[in-house]
């Protein structure tokens, strides 16, 4: 990795507060791009649209899905934006390159019964178990990303109003809410479990690992895997599944899509729009109950 790449990745972390996994993905995407440039004797500061088209064909030859190609382009747009800001270039050539069309996938979410079973399956008879229950309660109650959850500090929580200040993608700040169930487990966790997990050390973060340090994304994902495995739930469930579940349940119970967009921290309403596909059952029920020309009425 050259010095410019290294500075760019550091900027993503320190200035823009990108998630750890996003930075890892961008590092891999940049490495792939620079290998292509080296193989074709190209200078990254002097590439043109034909060079980019050749690179896209190269990505396609690797049998990458469109979503992975789109992420590569997103990485390179960000990298070349950085080069423009730092005066290496006058303009960003990748701004004129369109993403490939993405397949619209319905979000993976849990039904009400499945969600309740998942919550009820988590024992709370130890500090570790109580922390794990709190993790699932907060992911479901707030709809936050797993990286956002790991970065919650005690000072971010307004206990009286049941709100948490979150820093999302691109250091964007938003407020999320949590209800009585999450508040109950939060109180229990802070009363004894957190201090026990800290083992005498100090931390400003809410969620503490078994080593006495703040939890990271990989550890939360592993905790979720174990909970799902122990429940023998025949579903692929990740922390992000609970974010999808949060949004779907809100819409199914009458929340407007603009409010859900703000709670999720989506920059575009189009991103939130994927959840409208899974609310048709509720809409059908409302229609059948309320349309005057329906025989049931």
Report the distance separating Cα 118 and Cα 56, nearest Å. 42
Q: Tell me the CATH number of domain 3-96, given options 3.30.70.3270, 2.30.38.10, 1.10.150.130, 1.10.3720.10.
A: 1.10.150.130
What pLDDT shows up at residue 273? 74
Q: What is the DSSP string of 194-225?
A: HHHHHTT---SBS-B-TTSSB--HHHHHHHHH
Q: What are phi and psi of 173, to 5 degrees?
A: -95, 140
Q: Is the model's pLDDT at 117 over the cut of 90?
A: yes
Q: Quick count: other Cβ atoms within 10 Å of Cβ 163?
A: 15
112-284 is a CATH 3.40.605.10 domain: no
pLDDT for 280: 58
Q: Do 3-96 and 112-284 share a fold? A: no
Predicted local distance difference test score (pLDDT) of residue 220: 95
In this prediction, residue 22 carries a pLDDT of 86
- Domain residues of the chain, as ranges? 3-96, 112-284
pLDDT digits (tens, 9 = 90+) for 181-235: 999 999 999 998 999 999 999 999 999 999 999 999 999 999 999 999 999 888 8
Distances (CA, A) of 80 to 3, 44, 76, 91, 211: 15, 9, 6, 8, 40
Summarised one tens digit per residue, pLDDT across range 243-277 is: 999 998 988 888 888 888 888 888 777 777 777 66
Average the pLDDT over 115-127 and give the result: 93
Give me the active site residues, please: 145, 169, 240, 243, 266, 275
Structure tokens that stand for 189 in this block: 């966790």
Report pTM.
Answer: 0.65
- What mean pLDDT is reported for the chain? 88
């Amino acid at each position: 990795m050259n010095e410019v790449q290294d500075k760019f990745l550091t900027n993503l972390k320190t200035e823009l507060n990108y998630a750890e996994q996003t930075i890892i993905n961008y590092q891999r995407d940049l490495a792939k791009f620079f290998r292509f440039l080296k193989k074709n004797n190209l200078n990254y500061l002097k590439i043109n649209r034909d060079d980019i088209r050749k690179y896209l064909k190269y990505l396609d030859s690797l049998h990458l899905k469109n979503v992975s190609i789109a992420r590569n382009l997103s990485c390179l747009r960000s990298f070349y934006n950085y080069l423009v800001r730092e005066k290496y270039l006058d303009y960003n050539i990748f701004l004129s390159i369109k993403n490939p069309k993405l397949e619209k996938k319905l979000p993976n979410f849990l039904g009400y019964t499945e969600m309740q079973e998942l919550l009820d399956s988590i024992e709370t008879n130890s500090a570790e178990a109580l922390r794990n229950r709190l993790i699932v309660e907060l992911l479901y109650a707030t709809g936050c990303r797993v990286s956002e959850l790991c970065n919650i500090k005690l000072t971010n929580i307004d206990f009286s109003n049941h709100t948490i200040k979150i820093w999302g993608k691109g250091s964007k700040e938003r407020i999320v809410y949590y209800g009585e169930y999450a508040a109950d487990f939060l109180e229990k966790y802070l009363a004894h479990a957190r201090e026990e997990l800290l083992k005498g050390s100090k931390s400003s973060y809410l969620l503490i690992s078994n080593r006495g340090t703040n939890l990271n994304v990989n550890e939360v994902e592993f905790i979720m895997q174990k909970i799902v495995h122990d429940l023998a739930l025949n579903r692929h469930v990740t922390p992000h599944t609970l974010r999808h579940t949060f949004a779907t349940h809100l819409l199914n119970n009458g929340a407007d899509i603009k409010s859900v967009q703000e709670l999720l921290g989506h920059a575009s309403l189009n991103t939130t729009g994927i959840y409208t596909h899974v609310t048709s059952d509720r809409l059908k029920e409302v229609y059948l109950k309320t349309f005057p020309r329906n025989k049931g009425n």
